[in-house]
Amino acid sequence: MAGLESRTRFEPSEVEPRIIERWLSSGLFSPEAAGPAAENYSVAIPPPNVTGALHMGHALNGAIQDALVRYHRMLGRRTRWTLGTDHAGIATQTQVEKSLVQEGTSREELGREAFVQRVWAWRERYGGTIVEQFKRLGASCDYQHERFTLDEDYAQAVARVFVDLYHAGLIYRDHYLVNWDPGSGSAISDLEVADREVTDTLYDVAYPLIGAAPDEAQEVIVATVRPETMLADTAVAVNPLDERHAHLIGRRVRLPLVNRELPIIGDEYVKADFGTGALKVTPGHDPNDFEIGRRHDLNQLSVIGEDGRMTDLAGPRFTGLEVSEAQVAVVQALREQGYLRAERPYTHTVPYSHRSGRRIEPLVSLQWFMRMDELAAPAAEAVRSATVRIHPASQARRYLQWLEEIRPWCISRQLWWGHQLPVWYRGQETHVALTPPEGDGWRRDEDVLDTWFSSALWPFATLGWPQTTPELDAFYPTSVLSTARDILFLWVARMVMMGLRFTGEVPFSDVYVHSVIQAPDGRRMSKSLGTGIDPLDEIDRHGADAVRFGLLAMSSSQDVRYSPEKVQQGQGLANKLFNASRFVLMHVDPAARAAPAPETIEDRWILSRLERAKQQTAERLEGYDFSHAALGLYDFVFGELCDWYLELVKPRLEPAADAEARASVSANLLHVLSETLALAHPVIPFVTEEIHAHLRSASDPELLAGARWPAAHPELLDEPSERAVARAIEAVQAVRGWRDSVGCAPRLEVPVRLEAPGYEQTGGLLARMARLRLAGEEQASAPAVATVAVPGGSVAVLDVSGLDLGAAQRRVQESARRLRSEIARAEGKLANAGFVAKAPPAVVEAERAKLAALRAELEAL
Helices 56-74 and 544-554: angle between axes, nearest 10 degrees = 100
Q: Which of 592, 824, 846, 852 binds RNA (CB under 7 A)?
A: 846
214 binds RNA (CB under 7 A): no
Q: How far is the CB of 90 from RNA (least distance, A)?
A: 18
Q: How far is the CB of 84 from RNA (least distance, A)?
A: 26
Q: How far is the CB of 804 from RNA (least distance, A)?
A: 12
Q: How far is the CB of 361 from RNA (least distance, A)?
A: 14
359: closest CA among 351, 370, 348, 367?
Answer: 351
278: closest CA among 314, 251, 258?
Answer: 251
The residue range among 299-307, 474-482, 562-570, 780-788 that interacts with RNA, by the rule CB under 7 A, is: 562-570
The residue range among 108-116, 312-320, 440-448, 556-564 that interacts with RNA, by the rule CB under 7 A, is: 556-564
Q: Which of 26, 509, 563, 779 binds RNA (CB under 7 A)?
A: 563
Helix or strand (DSSP H, E) at 668: helix 659-680
482 binds RNA (CB under 7 A): no
Q: How far is the CB of 255 from RNA (least distance, A)?
A: 14
The nearer residue to RNA, 159 or 517, going by C-beta atoms, is 517
Site residues for RNA, 60-89, by CB under 7 A, read none
Site residues for RNA, 513-552, by CB under 7 A, read 520, 522, 524, 542
The residue range among 6-14, 107-115, 313-321, 410-418 that interacts with RNA, by the rule CB under 7 A, is: 6-14
Asked if 369 and 180 count as a contact pair (C-beta separation under 8 A), the reply is no
Q: Which of 853, 857, 858, 860 binds RNA (CB under 7 A)?
A: 853
The nearer residue to RNA, 422 or 792, going by C-beta atoms, is 792
Pairing between β-strand 443-444 and β-strand 389-391 as defined by DSSP bridges: unpaired
The nearer residue to RNA, 273 or 440, going by C-beta atoms, is 273
3-state secondary structure (DSSP) of residue 60? helix
The residue range among 93-101, 126-134, 161-169, 565-573 that interacts with RNA, by the rule CB under 7 A, is: 565-573
Q: How far is the CB of 38 from RNA (least distance, A)?
A: 29
Q: How far is the CB of 177 from RNA (least distance, A)?
A: 11
The nearer residue to RNA, 485 or 855, going by C-beta atoms, is 485
58 binds RNA (CB under 7 A): no
Beta bridge partners of 352: 194, 359
The residues, any chain, with a CB within 8 Å of residue 613's CB and separated by 6 or more, are 632, 633, 636, 640, 676, 679
436 binds RNA (CB under 7 A): no
The nearer residue to RNA, 92 or 179, going by C-beta atoms, is 179
The residue range among 110-118, 411-419, 777-785, 827-835 that interacts with RNA, by the rule CB under 7 A, is: 827-835
Strands (E) across 667-779 are located at 750-755, 772-774
- Angle (nearest 5°) at CA 352 between 350 and 356: 165
Radius of gyration of the chain (CA): 36
Asked if 46 and 462 count as a contact pair (C-beta separation under 8 A), the reply is no
Q: Which of 95, 276, 478, 762 binds RNA (CB under 7 A)?
A: 276
Q: How far is the CB of 544 from RNA (least distance, A)?
A: 13
Sign of CA dihedral 659, 661, 664, 670: negative
Asked if 265 and 281 count as a contact pair (C-beta separation under 8 A), the reply is yes
Q: Which of 184, 569, 600, 664 binds RNA (CB under 7 A)?
A: 569
Asked if 209 and 251 count as a contact pair (C-beta separation under 8 A), the reply is yes
172 binds RNA (CB under 7 A): no
The residues, any chain, with a CB within 8 Å of residue 450's CB and separated by 6 or more, are 89, 188, 189, 409, 410, 411, 412, 413
818 binds RNA (CB under 7 A): no
The nearer residue to RNA, 125 or 397, going by C-beta atoms, is 397
Q: How far is the CB of 358 from RNA (least distance, A)?
A: 18
Alpha-carbon distance of 355 to 178, in angstroms, equals: 16
- Cis peptide preceding 283, ω within 30 of 0: no
Total residues binding RNA (CB under 7 A): 90
Cα 318 to Cα 208, 313, 322, 331: the distances in Å are 22, 9, 9, 12
The nearer residue to RNA, 150 or 279, going by C-beta atoms, is 279
The nearer residue to RNA, 143 or 489, going by C-beta atoms, is 489
Q: How far is the CB of 820 from RNA (least distance, A)?
A: 15
Q: How far is the CB of 392 from RNA (least distance, A)?
A: 9
Q: How far is the CB of 282 from RNA (least distance, A)?
A: 9
Helices 719-742 and 805-831: angle between axes, nearest 10 degrees = 140
Alpha-carbon distance of 526 to 51, in angstroms, equals: 17
Asked if 228 and 310 count as a contact pair (C-beta separation under 8 A), the reply is yes
Q: How far is the CB of 658 from RNA (least distance, A)?
A: 19
Site residues for RNA, 236-275, by CB under 7 A, read 269-272, 274-275
Alpha-carbon distance of 470 to 584, in angstroms, equals: 46
Alpha-carbon distance of 579 to 563, in angstroms, equals: 25
299 binds RNA (CB under 7 A): no
Q: Which of 263, 532, 572, 706 binds RNA (CB under 7 A)?
A: 572
The residue range among 146-154, 222-230, 331-339, 680-688 that interacts with RNA, by the rule CB under 7 A, is: 222-230
Q: Which of 62, 183, 277, 793 binds RNA (CB under 7 A)?
A: 277
What single DSSP character describes residue 637?
A: I
Q: Which of 108, 486, 749, 845 binds RNA (CB under 7 A)?
A: 486
Alpha-carbon distance of 347 to 368, in angstroms, equals: 34
Q: How far is the CB of 692 from RNA (least distance, A)?
A: 17
Q: Which of 2, 6, 8, 715 binds RNA (CB under 7 A)?
A: 8
The residue range among 279-287, 466-474, 705-713, 755-763 that interacts with RNA, by the rule CB under 7 A, is: 279-287
The nearer residue to RNA, 156 or 579, going by C-beta atoms, is 579
List phi, psi (to 5°) of 174.
-155, 150
What are the DSSP calls for 186-221, one per residue? EEE-GGGEEEEEEEEEEEEEEEEBTT--TTS-SEEE
Pairing between β-strand 423-426 and β-strand 443-444 as defined by DSSP bridges: antiparallel
The residues, any chain, with a CB within 8 Å of residue 464's CB and separated by 6 or more, are 153, 471, 472
The residues, any chain, with a CB within 8 Å of residue 26's CB and separated by 6 or more, are 702, 703, 705, 706
Binding mask 489-508 for RNA (x = CB under 7 A): x-------------------
Binding mask 133-162 for RNA (x = CB under 7 A): ------------------------------
Cα 31 to Cα 28, 136, 140, 465, 470: the distances in Å are 6, 21, 11, 19, 12
Site residues for RNA, 675-704, by CB under 7 A, read none
Site residues for RNA, 330-359, by CB under 7 A, read 348-349
The residue range among 188-196, 416-424, 505-513, 758-766 that interacts with RNA, by the rule CB under 7 A, is: 188-196
List phi, psi (to 5°) of 248.
-80, -15
Q: Which of 78, 107, 501, 566 binds RNA (CB under 7 A)?
A: 566
571: closest CA among 589, 549, 591, 555?
Answer: 549
Q: How far is the CB of 345 from RNA (least distance, A)?
A: 13
586 binds RNA (CB under 7 A): yes
Asked if 3 and 690 count as a contact pair (C-beta separation under 8 A), the reply is no
Site residues for RNA, 702-741, by CB under 7 A, read 732-733, 736-737, 740-741
Site residues for RNA, 617-656, by CB under 7 A, read 627-628, 631, 635, 638, 642-643, 646-647, 650
Binding mask 385-404 for RNA (x = CB under 7 A): ---------x--xx--xx--
